[in-house]
Structure 1
């Protein structure tokens, strides 16, 4: 993917109908809508993703977080794995046939290791201070740049992303950004997405 990527990650605070309503507006302008519902069971996530598909959200726009069986069964656009994922899971039979697999990483060596395993991209953060990681110092643009130079696959930056910060992130060589509250909690989610989208262009 040569164009810059915009990943939008759900945060477990919205109903499926709310997610569907926002996803219907934003999917034409984003690379991926990640379904990251940590408090929900596998069955609940399966039914929820199925509901989103029934509401007309394209399968290619949906990435399932942490649940390969759902990504495979519903043929979603991708799968995002947590940094705690055991080695070689990407090469497991569960993951064969999934279009695109990303892994969350926290340092350059980890990113290189995941690339060797077969990850299609890595997600790295948090780059800037963010309310979801209070008390944890951000990794910053310099660490992001070092990691980007360490791998040959796309690096998606996450954490404290605002439209005003997009250029500085892209200047490191990162392939795109991931956003949570900046879109889901916005008074106008579509307007927020378009602001990020414009900066990424």
Structure 2
């Protein structure tokens, strides 16, 4: 069985320090992907931030939402909403690694048919990012994993106390946003998660 992956999803508003610097520490600490999810930014500002984060995280950095930035920077890794990919399936041909956000097993199947290399599935547990909405739960996540043959990364409310249960569903990994952005010592935090999943 391949190693359970830890994925960082960025949110510069929650970042306790310099975002590129934090990304560098997380990548050194063992995070396998960094999804630069700052879609509130205008495209030009996103591109400027992407240059800095790519310098810090290299080929672990996956750009999000802005396919033209991928093209301009020559980055072959892109994460999209399912709606974006369905509206423009040719985006699949633009990159080598394509991730898609999904919220139901049937959406995961559609993403896979359109050529997605992986999906993020959530939200699994209740989270501040989706206030007032209950999590979809572990049986739901297991259903997503069983519906597709591509890697599924759990997202939403993942924490040290539920990480082992997430790994047992067959998910390829888990995404962390708030914890990776705000923890005082990212390297130690990642090491602690590794001890749970290894």
CA 176–129 in structure 1, closer or farther in 2 if over 3 Å, else same: same
CA 179–52 in structure 1, closer or farther in 2 if over 3 Å, else same: same
List structure 1 runs of 4+ shifted beyond 6 angstroms.
Answer: none
Which secondary structure state, in structure 2, belongs to the residue aligned with residue 13 of structure 1? helix
For residues 197 and 74 of structure 1, the distance between their equivalents in structure 2, rounded to whole angstroms, comes to 32
Q: Which moved more, 1:32-41 or 1:95-104?
A: 95-104
Unaligned runs of 5+ in 1: none
For residues 52 and 86 of structure 1, the distance between their equivalents in structure 2, rounded to whole angstroms, comes to 24
1:142-173 CA distances to partner (integer Å, 9 max, x unpaired)?
A: 00011111100000000111122111011111
Q: State the 1:96 CA deviation.
A: 2.3
Aligned residues between the structures:
196
**Contact in 1 for aligned 2:160/2:196 (Cα 8 Å):** yes
**TM-score relative to the length of structure 2:** 0.90
Unaligned runs of 5+ in 2: none
Answering whether residue 188 of structure 2 is matched by residue 191 of structure 1, we say yes
**Contact in 1 for aligned 2:100/2:119 (Cα 8 Å):** yes
Query: Is the helix fraction higher in 1 or 2?
Result: 2
Q: For CA contacts below 8 A with separation 6 or more, give which structure has more relative contact order.
A: 2
**TM-score relative to the length of structure 1:** 0.89
**Contact in 1 for aligned 2:92/2:116 (Cα 8 Å):** no
CA RMSD of aligned residues (A): 2.0
1:63 maps to what in 2? Answer: 62
